[in-house]
């Protein structure tokens, strides 16, 4: 029996978005009767020293974790060494485990993994499927990572494009991402758009008076503007912080940041030095608490640098919709998510730097919480139609089954 082999640095019990998505898909395909293996690292996203088991079964999925260096995400050089160690270990394991007819599904952590996996797939007679979560090196270049000189960037693009063009299938997250791949010479017949998702059974609206975190955090009588997830370099926070400063005298409105990341400490320091008491920080919550934590805010913020549109899709979008909350998007107002928010009447968008527009929407919704609630209801209905887990898993099963039939 042919098997499906997924490769990604992180897998259960890691809480990062790519890990959670992979865990959902791998385990559900196993339940459907597929033979599934996951090749991952032994680290956790926020704990490079974790040393997870080398071999274990997770809900019917065989997990093989390779040993790597453990510098973590603190600096680019250490991260690059971790990447290299994972490339080498994962490639050796792929060579050992893959058989003719297997389907090799490669994610984009670490970057350019598909370029190395392509040769292994060809060597072993396996079918390569790229699960494109983000587009590298374009993301790094947009973030002005100076470690990549122009000549090297051009080579990396060529190498990456070859892995896209020669793959059996490229699974992308949005129409904008599909358009970009087409512009790189990838055949449309090999591209399938499958949105990321959330699990509508485990993430759902939790009423304010039943929300234990809202009570524990002392937010019962507040209108909460929330940001949940990675406070990373791909996201713009000056607009949000400026808006919070403009609303500092509103004791009924609180800005809540749940999560961590590259900009977390800087934001905490800025809030502390400015004396902004209307900003609250909380750590990542366990996945089992996601419905509760995502239901704490009355409205959620999604932020993305305009230069990254088409290269990244904020995965928090799906969980927020599942929790039945409206969204305020900060970034390119003509991008895909703002168009969805307008079409479904479940949120608003403001441009980078438009803190005044940000404040205007918050004031309007805090003054009309009935409308805010109805926007949340529409958000959940949108989720049920397009972004619930069974919809995505079914699309994935069809795509992979097509691979076996070709």
Q: How many residues does the chain have?
A: 406
Q: CA-CA distances (angstroms) from residue 253 to 57, 280, 341?
A: 46, 11, 23
Q: Is 23:12 a contact under the CB 8 Å cutoff? A: yes
Q: Cβ contacts of residue 367 below 8 Å, gap of 6+?
A: none
Do 395 and 381 lie in one domain? The reply is no
Residue 404 has a pLDDT of 47
Beta bridge partners of 306: none
Residue 99 has a pLDDT of 97
Q: By residue range, what is the domain housing residue 90? A: 3-197+388-405
Do 400 and 329 lie in one domain? The reply is no
Per-residue confidence in pLDDT tens, the chain, 406 aa: 799 999 999 999 998 889 999 999 999 999 999 999 999 999 998 899 999 999 999 999 999 999 999 998 777 889 899 999 999 999 999 999 999 999 999 999 999 999 999 999 999 999 999 999 999 999 999 998 777 888 999 999 999 999 999 999 999 999 999 999 999 999 999 999 999 999 999 999 999 999 999 999 999 999 999 999 999 999 999 999 999 999 999 999 999 999 988 899 999 999 999 999 999 999 989 888 999 999 999 999 999 999 999 999 999 999 999 999 999 999 999 999 999 999 999 999 999 999 999 999 999 999 999 999 999 999 999 999 999 999 999 999 999 886 444 4
How does 12-44 read in b/e, with b if 16+ C-beta sit within 10 Å? bebbbbbbbbbbbbbbbbbeeebebbbbbbbbb
Do 152 and 249 lie in one domain? The reply is no
Do 177 and 217 lie in one domain? The reply is no
pLDDT in tens, 147-196: 788 899 999 999 999 999 999 999 999 999 999 999 999 999 999 999 99
Q: Which domain CATH number covers 105? A: 3.40.50.2000
How many domains, the chain? 2
Residue 262 has a pLDDT of 87
Do 397 and 322 lie in one domain? The reply is no
pLDDT in tens, 226-242: 999 999 999 999 999 99
Do 62 and 180 lie in one domain? The reply is yes
Give the H/E segment covering residue 130: strand 127-131
Residue 207 has a pLDDT of 93
Do 69 and 185 lie in one domain? The reply is yes
In a domain, 133, yes or no: yes
Q: What are phi and psi of 44, to 5 degrees?
A: -105, 155
Do 312 and 351 lie in one domain? The reply is yes
Residue 205 has a pLDDT of 98
Q: Is 274:97 a contact under the CB 8 Å cutoff? A: no
In a domain, 72, yes or no: yes
In a domain, 161, yes or no: yes
SS3 267: helix
Do 295 and 178 lie in one domain? The reply is no
- Burial (0-12, 13-18, 19+ Cβ within 10 Å), 233: middle
In a domain, 338, yes or no: yes
In a domain, 373, yes or no: yes
Do 18 and 142 lie in one domain? The reply is yes
In a domain, 203, yes or no: no
Q: What are phi and psi of 266, to 5 degrees?
A: -60, -40
Residue 261 has a pLDDT of 87
In a domain, 202, yes or no: no
Do 258 and 295 lie in one domain? The reply is yes
- Residue with structure tokens 């898909």? 25
Spatial distance between the Cα atoms of 62 and 90, rounded to a whole number of angstroms: 15
Do 141 and 153 lie in one domain? The reply is yes
């Amino acid at each position: 029996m042919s098997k499906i082999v997924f490769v990604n640095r992180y897998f259960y019990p890691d809480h990062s978005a790519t890990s959670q998505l992979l865990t959902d898909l791998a385990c559900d395909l196993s339940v459907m009767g597929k033979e599934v293996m996951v090749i991952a690292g032994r680290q956790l996203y926020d704990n490079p020293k974790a040393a997870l088991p080398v071999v274990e079964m997770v809900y019917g999925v065989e997990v093989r974790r390779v040993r790597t260096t453990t510098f973590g995400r603190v600096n680019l050089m250490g991260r690059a060494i971790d990447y290299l160690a994972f490339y080498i270990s994962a490639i050796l394991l792929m060579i050992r485990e893959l058989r003719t007819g297997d389907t090799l599904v490669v994610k984009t952590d670490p970057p350019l993994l598909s370029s190395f996996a392509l040769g292994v797939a060809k060597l072993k007679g396996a079918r390569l499927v790229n699960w494109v979560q983000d587009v590298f090196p374009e993301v790094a270049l947009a973030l002005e990572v100076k470690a990549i000189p122009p000549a090297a960037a051009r080579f990396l693009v060529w190498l990456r494009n070859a892995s896209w063009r020669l793959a059996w299938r490229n699974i992308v997250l949005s129409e904008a991402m599909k358009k970009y791949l087409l512009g790189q010479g990838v055949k449309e017949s090999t591209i399938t758009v499958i949105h990321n998702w959330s699990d509508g059974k485990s993430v759902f609206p939790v009423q304010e008076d039943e929300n234990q975190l809202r009570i524990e955090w002392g937010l019962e009588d507040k209108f909460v503007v929330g940001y949940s997830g990675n406070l990373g370099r791909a996201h713009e926070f000056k607009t949000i912080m400026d808006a919070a400063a403009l609303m500092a005298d509103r004791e009924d409105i609180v800005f809540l940041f749940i999560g961590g990341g590259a900009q977390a400490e800087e934001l905490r320091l800025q809030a502390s030095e400015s004396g902004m008491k209307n900003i609250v920080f909380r750590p990542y919550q366990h996945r089992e608490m996601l419905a509760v934590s995502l239901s704490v805010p009355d409205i959620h913020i999604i932020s993305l640098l305009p230069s990254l549109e088409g290269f990244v899709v904020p995965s928090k979008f799906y969980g927020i919709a599942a929790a039945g909350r409206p969204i305020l998007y900060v970034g390119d107002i003509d991008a895909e998510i703002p168009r969805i928010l307008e079409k479904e009447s479940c949120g608003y968008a403001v441009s980078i730097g438009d803190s005044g527009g940000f404040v205007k929407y918050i004031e309007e919704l805090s003054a009309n919480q009935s409308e805010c609630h109805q926007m949340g209801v529409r958000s959940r209905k949108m989720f049920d139609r397009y972004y619930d887990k069974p919809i995505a898993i079914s699309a994935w099963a069809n795509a992979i089954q097509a691979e076996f039939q070709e």
